[in-house]
Chain A
Amino acid sequence: MIQLENVSKAYVEGIPALDDVSLSIEDGEFVFIVGDSGSGKSTLIKLLMKELEPSEGTITVNDRDISTITHKNIPYFRREIGVVFQDFRLLKDRNVYENVAFAMRVVGESNRNIRKRVPVMLSLVGLAAKYKSFPKQLSGGEQQRVAIARALVNNPGILLADEPTGNLDNNNAWEIMKLLEEINARGTTVVVVTHNMEIVRAMNKRVITIQKGNLVGDAGGEVLS
Chain B
Amino acid sequence: MKFSTFIYSIKQGVINIGRNKMFSLASIATMAACIFLFGIFYSVVSNFNSMVTNVEKGVAVTVFFKEGISDEEIDAIGAAIRMRPEVKDCIFKSADEAWEEYKKIYFEGSEELAEGFADDNPLKDDASYEIYLNDVSMQKVLVTYLENLEGIRTVNQSEVVANTLTDFNKLISYISIAIILILLCVAIFLINNTVTVGISVRKDEIGIMKFIGATDFFVRAPFVVEGILIGFVGASIPLIILYFMYSRIIVYIAEKFNFLSGLLTFIPVETVFTTLVPVALLLGVGIGFIGSFATTRKHLKV
Contacts and interface: CB of A to CB of B under 8 A. Distances in A.
A83 B211 contact: yes
Interface string B195-231: 0000000001101111111111010000000000000
A109 B218 CA distance: 12
Interface stretch (B1-9, B57-65, B91-99, B129-137): B1-9
Contacts of A106: 209, 212-214, 218
Contacts of B209: 106
Best-buried of A106, A107, A110, A150 by chain B (most CB within 10 Å)? A106
Contacts of A51: 211
Given A89-B207, A91-B205, A103 B212 contact: yes
A186 interface: no
B4 A110 contact: yes
Contact of A78 (B2, B205, B213): B213
A110 B2 contact: yes
A105 interface: yes
A49 B211 contact: yes
B4 A108 contact: yes
A72 B207 CA distance: 17
Interface string A88-105: 010100000000001101
Nearest to A110: B4
Contacts of A72: 216
A79 B2 contact: no
Most buried by A among B8, B204, B208, B216: B208
Question: Which interface class (under 10, 10 to 19, 20 to 34, 35 or more) fits A?
Answer: 20 to 34
A14 B211 CA distance: 29
Contacts of A102: 208, 212
B225 to A, nearest CB: 15
B4 A78 contact: no
Contact of B208 (A49, A89, A110): A89
A111 B7 CA distance: 11
Contacts of B214: 75, 106-107
A51 B207 CA distance: 11
Interface in A145-196: 150, 154
B200 to A, nearest CB: 15
A106 B213 CA distance: 7
A154 B211 CA distance: 13
Contacts of B8: 105
Contacts of B212: 78-79, 102-103, 106-107, 150, 154
Interface in B5-29: 5, 8
A57 to B, nearest CB: 23
Contacts of A154: 212-213
A89 B216 CA distance: 20
A49 B210 CA distance: 10
B208 A108 contact: no
Interface in B230-251: none
A83 B4 CA distance: 24
Contacts of A89: 204, 207-208
A111 B2 CA distance: 11
Nearest to A111: B4
Contacts of A76: 213, 215
A78 B216 contact: no
Contacts of B5: 105, 108
Contacts of A105: 4-5, 8
B211 A109 contact: no
Interface in A29-85: 49, 51, 72, 75-79, 83
- Which residue, A51, A76, A107, A150, has most C-beta atoms of chain B within 10 A? A107
Given A102-B212, A107-B213, 20 more contacts: A76-B213, A76-B215, A78-B213, A83-B211, A89-B207, A91-B205, A91-B208, A103-B212, A105-B4, A105-B5, A105-B8, A106-B212, A106-B213, A106-B214, A107-B212, A108-B4, A108-B5, A109-B4, A111-B4, A150-B212
28 contacts: A51-B211, A72-B216, A75-B210, A75-B215, A76-B213, A77-B213, A78-B210, A78-B212, A79-B212, A79-B213, A83-B211, A89-B208, A91-B205, A91-B208, A102-B208, A102-B212, A105-B5, A105-B8, A106-B212, A106-B213, A106-B214, A106-B218, A107-B213, A108-B4, A111-B4, A150-B212, A154-B212, A154-B213
